[in-house]
Amino acid sequence: MTSLKVRPGLNFIDITTKDLAGYPFVYLSAAGQAVFTEDEAAALRAYLLNGGFLMADDFWGDDEWEHFVGQVKLIFPNRAIEPMDLKHPIFHTVYDFKKQPQIPSVGTSFPAEDLMIFVTVTSNGTMTPLLRHL
């Protein structure tokens, strides 16, 4: 359900090149195992601050979540993760959610008014969204 011109299928790119800027939406799978170099963290920071959007998915357990949080700290070292409630526009943009969906996910973004990252994390089969503020 999008009016965006999208490329179906997988497309692997080197995020430290100018190619990243050509994608308004990027998806990071197995994010609980991601390891960013300093150059990759800097490239992601620039991409996100310039309007890019990253969806990170597939965390299994607290260890992978904590690992990813550490990797995100390389991108934005001075930001904290806080709960995101159902009032966030992402829950009302395409569908108008009246309650949090019962899916094994957790969401995170930063900042609240300018959604840059949304993360899904397995968490006891329920959705507990998180919000990253500046």
pLDDT above 90: percentage of residues in the chain: 17
Mean pLDDT of all residues in 73-82 = 82
Q: What 3-state DSSP class applies to 83? A: strand
Kindly report the pTM of this predicted structure.
Answer: 0.72
Residues 16-63 have pLDDT tens digits of 998 899 888 888 888 888 999 999 999 999 998 898 888 887 777 778
Q: Are strands 81-83 and 53-56 parallel, antiparallel or unpaired?
A: unpaired
Residue 74 has a pLDDT of 94
**Res. 125 pLDDT band, cuts 50 70 90:** very low
Contacts of 102 (CB under 8 A, 6+ apart): 125, 126, 127
**Res. 83 pLDDT band, cuts 50 70 90:** low
CA–CA separation, 16 and 119 (whole Å)? 21
Domain ranges of the chain: 23-132
Is the separation of the CB atoms in 59 and 31 below 8 Å?
Answer: yes
Tell me what the pLDDT averaged over the chain comes to.
75
CA–CA separation, 48 and 51 (whole Å)? 5
Is the separation of the CB atoms in 116 and 130 below 8 Å?
Answer: no
Q: Which residue has the higher pLDDT, 75 or 30?
A: 75
